[in-house]
Chain A
Amino acid sequence: MKGVLVAATLLVTSAGLMGQSAPVPAGSTHAGTDHAVPAQSPPSYSGSAPADVLPVASAPAAVTVALDRTVADATLGGTFSFDATVRNESAQPVSGLIAHLNVLSSDPSVYVDPEDWSSHRSQFLDVLPAHSSATLRWPVQAVTAGPAIVYVAVTDPAAKTVAVSGPLQVTVPQRATINAGGIVPLALGIPAVVLALLVFTALRRRHLR
Chain B
Amino acid sequence: MAEPRTSTESRSSTAWLVIAEQELRDLWLAGRGLLLMFAYSVLLSVTSYLVATNQALNFLERRESVTLTLQVAVAVSGLLVLLGSADAVSGERERGTLETLLLTPASRQSLVVGKGTAALSLWVVSIALSVPYLWFIGRGVGVVAEAVVSGFIVSGLLALFLSGLGLLISTVSSTNRVSLSVSLFVLLALYAPTQLASIGVAGTAGDVLLRLDPFTGGLDYLNKLLVGGHSAGQDIGVLIPTLVAAAVFPVAALATASRLTLLTRERS
Closest beta carbon of chain A to B100's beta carbon, Å: 22
**Chain A contacts for B49, CB-based, 8 A:** 183-184, 187
Q: Is the CB of A11 within 8 A of B188?
A: yes
Q: Is the CB of B83 within 8 A of A7?
A: yes
Instruction: Given A36-B228, A177-B55, A191-B42, decide whether A19 and B136 contact each other with a Cβ distance below 8 A.
Output: no
A interface bracket (residues with beta carbon within 8 Å of B): 35 or more
**Chain A contacts for B42, CB-based, 8 A:** 191
B75 within 8 A of A: yes
**Chain A contacts for B76, CB-based, 8 A:** 8, 11-12, 15
Q: Interface-forming stretch among A56-64, A81-89, A156-164, A194-202?
A: A194-202
Closest beta carbon of chain A to B144's beta carbon, Å: 12
Give Cα A184–Cα B48 distance, bound, in whole angstroms. Answer: 9
B47 within 8 A of A: yes
A172's closest neighbor in chain B, by CB?
A: B59
Q: Interface-forming stretch among B1-9, B10-18, B63-71, B205-213?
A: B63-71
Q: Is the CB of A178 within 8 A of B35?
A: no
Within 8 A of A (CB), among B150-196: 180, 184, 187-188, 191, 194-195
A191's closest neighbor in chain B, by CB?
A: B41
**Chain B contacts for A197, CB-based, 8 A:** 34
Give Cα A179–Cα B57 distance, bound, in whole angstroms. Answer: 12
**Chain A contacts for B68, CB-based, 8 A:** 16, 18-19
Give Cα A3–Cα B71 distance, bound, in whole angstroms. Answer: 23
A22 within 8 A of B: yes
Q: Interface-forming stretch among B24-32, B112-120, B242-250, B252-260?
A: B24-32
Q: Is the CB of B229 within 8 A of A36?
A: yes
B214-231: CB near A (< 8 Å → 1, else 0) gives 000001000110011110
Instruction: Given A186-B136, A187-B45, decide whether A194 and B141 contact each other with a Cβ distance below 8 A.
Output: no
Q: Is the CB of A188 within 8 A of B188?
A: no
Q: Is the CB of A190 within 8 A of B44?
A: yes
B149 within 8 A of A: no
A1-27: CB near B (< 8 Å → 1, else 0) gives 101110110011011111111100000
Q: Is the CB of A205 within 8 A of B140?
A: no
Closest beta carbon of chain B to A94's beta carbon, Å: 35
Q: Is the CB of A178 within 8 A of B51?
A: yes
Instruction: Given A18-B198, A143-B58, decide whether A8 and B180 contact each other with a Cβ distance below 8 A.
Output: no
Within 8 A of B (CB), among A5-54: 5, 7-8, 11-12, 14-22, 34-36
Q: Is the CB of B31 within 8 A of A35?
A: no
B123 within 8 A of A: no
From A22, A145, A179, A188, give the contact of B52 (CB < 8 A): A179
Q: Is the CB of A178 within 8 A of B52?
A: yes
Q: Is the CB of A15 within 8 A of B180?
A: no
Closest beta carbon of chain B to A141's beta carbon, Å: 8
Q: Is the CB of B71 within 8 A of A182?
A: no
Known: A12-B76, A142-B59, A182-B52. 11 other contacts (CB 8 A): A12-B43, A17-B198, A18-B198, A35-B229, A36-B229, A178-B55, A183-B49, A184-B49, A187-B48, A187-B49, A190-B45
Q: Tell me the A residues contacting B by CB distance below 8 Å.
A: 1, 3-5, 7-8, 11-12, 14-22, 34-36, 76-77, 111-113, 116, 141-145, 175-180, 182-184, 186-188, 190-191, 194-195, 197-198, 201-202, 204-205
Give 8 CB contacts A-B under 8 Å: A1-B35, A15-B72, A15-B75, A116-B59, A116-B60, A175-B141, A187-B45, A198-B31
